Structure 1
Amino acid sequence: MKILIVNTSDIQGGAARAAYRLHRALLNEGINSHMLVQSKVSDDYTVTGPFGKIPFDTRDLAAGIDWVLDTPDYAFLCANARQKVLDCFDSHHVANQRIFFTKKSFRKPAEDNKTEFATFR
């Protein structure tokens, strides 16, 4: 699956940061995501601004948009996309992921492969 997120900015403003977090989450899940923005502030190579080179053929983008809009399964595609977002970005799911990665970042290497957490004084 290839995703293109089109937004005014990549990280300036609340909506831009939300779109950027969605973009990074998709990449972290192994999904081919790219952002196309009017105003690029970050140095993220997966974000293309007005002075960057678009790393794909724009005719492919146009064909993809036409296919989505003209497909007889449009309602089915919408329902699946909505369900995927609900499943992956539900507040409980996101909170559990943050807890998991926070705990993971505080682990210290275990000599015998047991899970241990670092203690701080």
Structure 2
Amino acid sequence: MMNILIQTNKLYEFERESLLLSNYSNDEIKDFLNRLKKFGKETDSKVILEKIKEIESKAKYEILRREEWKLNLFFPLILTSFLAGSFYMQKFYQEKLNNLLIEILNNYIGRYYGNSSD
């Protein structure tokens, strides 16, 4: 186990580094998280472990924030394609229904008004 002063100093370094996470790439953030987890395994102080969890959540949030643009871009595309597909299917079934109605009306009209062989 490390001395509490060394642990506190190392925690302070992680906190300072966490302020720069927006400048890091996703791989660098993942490396930062791995180093933070390794440091968390070396300590037994509950206060330091709580701070590690806070820093870890900041890093994970930064990764999610970067992925958010994909959702903002692709969700409308997915929704639009779904609506376009359902519109196409609606049009397809509407045409089938119209054809069926025309056939029924032609049979009805033909039976009662036009097909007498007298």
TM-score between both structures, scaled by the size of structure 2: 0.28
Task: Write 1 or 2 for the structure with the bigger share of helix.
Answer: 2
Q: Compare relative contact order (CA 8 Å, sep 6+) and give the higher one, 1 or 2.
A: 2
TM-score between both structures, scaled by the size of structure 1: 0.28
Mark the structure with the bigger radius of gyration. 2
